[in-house]
């Protein structure tokens, strides 16, 4: 897919990985649509992104509000036209033992991480289908394929996002919409503040938002279906695909993955309880 000149909508683009993705696409010549639940962050992101020289616009958007999604879509169509690329990035995590996390936080996690992806895709897929080429990027996680204790609902939401990506891609192929591509991105821990306090597994370390953002742009350009970062995790996943599940889990324990979320702190307390 040609990125330059395409219109890209990124959810949760006010900070962190979402902002890095917006920057990467803007530098590649795309027209970027910044959305975030926090209105002030939208304006800050727009001001910073204008330095790239690309066309930038933005809207306040709560991905759990169907009404707001439809309003933003209608306004975007009226002011700029349909998008060519949707990046479902908005997400949240609450760490801790399953029973120690209030059920409302579990439900919020599912609502944003999975419900937001479903709602945004359902609203904008008709626009993508109308374009000569369209692309959806769903930011999942390495926890979509690896058990992650102390973040059970986060992992569940990302498993679901990966399954949704795989199934919708095949559905579109069956229905003859081969001009639409879907990429599921599965990174390990990213240094955005969302996972403060975490101890990454051995040999993995921290990813930077810029590393992941650049990988997203490359994946779109090459129509890659699945991206796992960093390379060492991708290699281990490929090499152990045929292992018994018990062996694989034992390896994850040996590498420290199973205890990596034990000291999770996340974002510092703020007025907006849903870091995007």
Residues 36-45 have pLDDT tens digits of 999 999 999 9
Inside any domain, residue 269: no
Q: What's the CA gap between 142 and 114, in Å, rounded?
A: 15
pLDDT of residue 91 exceeding 70: yes
Active site residue 154: yes
pLDDT at position 238, please?
85
Q: What is the percent of the chain with per-residue pLDDT over 70, rounded to a whole number?
A: 96
- pTM of the entire predicted model: 0.94
Range of the domain at 189: 7-259
Give the 3-state DSSP-derived string for 76-137, with helices as H, strands as E and coil as C.
Answer: HHHHCCCCCEEEECCCCCCCCCHHHCCHHHHHHHHHHHHHHHHHHHHHHHHHHHCCCCEEEE
pLDDT band at 23 (very low <50, low <70, confident <90, very high): very high
Catalytic one among 154, 189, 237, 248? Answer: 154
CATH code assigned at 43: 3.40.50.720
Q: Is residue 271 part of a domain?
A: no
In a domain, 14, yes or no: yes
- What average pLDDT does this structure show over 187-211? 94
Kindly state whether residue 52 falls inside one of the protein's structural domains. Answer: yes
Q: What is the pLDDT of residue 251?
A: 87
Helix runs in 134-208, H state only? 152-174
pLDDT score of 248 more than 90:
no
Give the model's pLDDT for residue 101. Answer: 97
In a domain, 267, yes or no: no
pLDDT at residue 265 in the model: 92
Is residue 275's pLDDT more than 60? no
Query: For residue 228, is it within any domain?
Result: yes
**How many independent structural domains does the chain possess?**
1
User: Residue 125 falls within a domain, yes or no?
Assistant: yes
Does residue 272 sit within a domain?
no
Which CA distances in Å does 189 have to 94, 185, 202, 209, 260?
Answer: 14, 12, 12, 10, 10
**pLDDT one-digit tens code per residue, 132-187:** 999 999 999 999 998 999 999 999 999 999 999 999 999 999 999 999 999 999 99
């Amino acid at each position: 897919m040609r990125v330059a000149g395409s219109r890209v909508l990124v959810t949760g683009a006010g900070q962190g990985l979402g902002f890095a993705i917006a920057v990467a696409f803007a530098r590649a010549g795309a027209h970027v649509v910044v959305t975030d639940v926090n209105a002030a962050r939208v304006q800050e992101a727009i001001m910073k992104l204008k330095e790239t020289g690309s066309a930038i616009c933005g809207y306040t958007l709560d991905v759990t509000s169907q009404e707001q999604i439809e309003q933003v879509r209608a306004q975007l169509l009226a002011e700029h036209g349909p998008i060519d690329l949707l990046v479902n990035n908005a997400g949240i995590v609450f760490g801790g033992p399953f029973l120690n996390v209030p059920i409302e936080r579990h439900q919020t996690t599912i609502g944003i991480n999975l419900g937001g992806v479903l709602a945004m895709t359902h609203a904008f897929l008709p626009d993508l289908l109308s374009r000569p080429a369209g692309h959806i990027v769903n930011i999942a996680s390495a926890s979509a394929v690896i058990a992650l204790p102390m973040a059970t609902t986060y992992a569940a939401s990302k498993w679901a996002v990966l399954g949704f990506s795989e199934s919708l891609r095949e559905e579109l192929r069956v229905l003859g919409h081969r001009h639409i591509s879907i990429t599921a991105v599965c990174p390990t821990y990213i240094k955005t503040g969302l996972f403060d306090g975490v101890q990454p597994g051995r040999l993995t370390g921290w990813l930077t938002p810029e590393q992941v953002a650049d990988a997203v742009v490359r994946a779109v350009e090459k129509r890659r279906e699945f991206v796992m970062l960093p390379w060492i995790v991708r290699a281990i996943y490929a090499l152990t695909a045929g292992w018994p599940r018990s062996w694989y889990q034992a390896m994850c324990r040996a590498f420290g993955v199973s205890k990596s979320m034990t000291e999770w702190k996340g974002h510092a307390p703020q007025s907006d309880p849903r870091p995007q």
